[in-house]
């Protein structure tokens, strides 16, 4: 059963659906509806503009906490840390260095593709947060997408007010770091900010408490494949658990760690084979295999085809987010 979801009062209206405002919508369905809307629209800015126009308070406790933040920098950090309350199996990060800040967004499930419209909507939403804190349009330095360019980008670049680039590992919006000190014209009191954060933190705590351990492990592995350590010890640490506690929790669900790791490698590896031109040795390394031979053996076992045959023929891979 697919359990990747998106949930906020505004969501049904974004895809022309009616229904309970707090009902969860399957993420693959939501992304598919956005993609269909993008394909049928003659306006290349339609999804970005829709994201910019979202009323942040329609995002529930996340939107309230963002709007009640003292500065843009705090608002973006709150958005990244609290995004899990409105969308599962997704990674949002705020990466800050001395001169530039990158706000990144990516859906972790490799099966959900294409997702160009979702990326445009989400980066538009992030741009909307910046606008709420008085950041001028021309202050955004760059916009990058994980998908490849598929249309004339000049109207998009003109509207966004900056250069566009494609084929990245994640979607990103780049700002000058000095912009993080921007404040809203009407600032909330420190007490309102604290209360909003408390409500959001309680929602995140409850979500972690009720999520199956296997689901949390899967999300952590997918977020770290090719980027960091995906050993059982490292994943347990990222989840705030001991290895022993993690093993016990997974055993209760009948899902050993090595099985989840292999599922994630299979799904991510398949996506890299059919959507990129990365060399097989690079994909093997990104998936954590000791060498290309081990990678090829594993894929031949799973699919009955070698990685090269998969790349040539393509296929349909099922989602590992369950």
Domain extent for 278: 212-313
Q: 124 and 180 share a domain?
A: yes
Residue closest to 147 by CA, chosen among 290, 271, 306, 260: 271
How many whole angstroms separate alpha carbon 300 and alpha carbon 153? 40
Q: 123 and 182 share a domain?
A: yes
pLDDT digits (tens, 9 = 90+) for 119-130: 999 999 999 999
Q: 30 and 167 share a domain?
A: yes
Q: 187 and 290 share a domain?
A: no
Tell whether the torsion through CA atoms of 212, 66, 238 and 224 is positive or negative. positive
Look-up of token digits 């909507």:
121
* CATH code of the domain in which 131 resides: 3.90.1520
Average confidence (pLDDT) over 53-58: 95
Evaluate whether 105 touches 119 at the Cβ level (below 8 Å): yes
Q: 100 and 58 share a domain?
A: yes
Look-up of token digits 């990678």:
295
Residue closest to 164 by CA, chosen among 288, 73, 156, 201: 156
Number of structural domains in the chain: 2
Domain final residue pick, 150, 172, 202: 202
Would you say residue 277 lies in a domain? yes
pLDDT digits (tens, 9 = 90+) for 98-143: 999 999 999 999 999 999 999 999 999 999 999 999 999 999 999 9
What pTM was computed for the model?
0.93
Domain final residue pick, 182, 202, 222: 202
Would you say residue 169 lies in a domain? yes
Cis check for the bond before 166: say yes or no (omega within 30 of 0): no
Q: 197 and 72 share a domain?
A: yes
Judged against a pLDDT cut of 60, whether residue 317 lies above it is answered with: no
* CATH code of the domain in which 294 resides: 1.10.10.60
pLDDT digits (tens, 9 = 90+) for 253-269: 999 999 999 999 999 99
How many whole angstroms separate alpha carbon 317 and alpha carbon 321? 12
């Amino acid at each position: 059963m697919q359990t990747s979801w998106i949930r906020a009062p505004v969501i049904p209206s974004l895809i022309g659906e009616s229904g309970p405002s707090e009902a969860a919508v399957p993420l693959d369905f939501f992304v598919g509806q956005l993609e269909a809307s993008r394909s049928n629209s003659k306006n290349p800015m339609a999804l970005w503009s829709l994201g910019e126009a979202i009323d942040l308070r329609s995002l529930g406790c996340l939107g309230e906490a963002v709007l009640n933040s003292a500065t843009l920098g705090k608002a973006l950090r709150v958005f990244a840390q609290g995004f899990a309350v409105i969308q599962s199996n997704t990674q949002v990060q705020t990466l800050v260095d001395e001169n530039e800040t990158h706000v990144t967004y990516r859906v972790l499930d490799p099966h959900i593709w294409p997702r160009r419209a979702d990326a445009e909507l989400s980066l538009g939403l992030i741009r909307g947060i910046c606008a709420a804190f008085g950041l001028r349009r021309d202050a955004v330095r760059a916009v990058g997408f994980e998908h490849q360019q598929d249309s004339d980008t000049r109207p998009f670049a003109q509207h966004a007010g900056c250069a566009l680039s494609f084929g990245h590992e994640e979607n990103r919006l780049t700002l000058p770091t000095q912009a993080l000190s921007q404040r809203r014209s009407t600032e909330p009191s420190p007490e309102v900010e604290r209360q909003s954060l408390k409500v959001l933190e309680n929602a995140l705590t409850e979500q972690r408490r009720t999520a199956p351990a296997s689901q949390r492990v899967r999300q952590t592995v997918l977020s770290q494949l090719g980027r960091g350590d995906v050993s059982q010890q490292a994943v347990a640490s990222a989840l705030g658990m001991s290895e022993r506690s993690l093993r016990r929790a997974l055993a209760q669900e009948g899902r050993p760690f090595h099985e989840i790791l292999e599922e994630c490698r299979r799904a991510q590896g398949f996506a890299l084979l059919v959507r990129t031109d990365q060399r097989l040795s690079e994909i093997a390394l990104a998936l954590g295999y000791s060498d290309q031979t081990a990678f090829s053996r594993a894929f031949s076992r799973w699919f009955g085809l070698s990685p090269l045959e998969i790349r040539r023929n393509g296929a349909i891979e099922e989602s590992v987010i369950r």
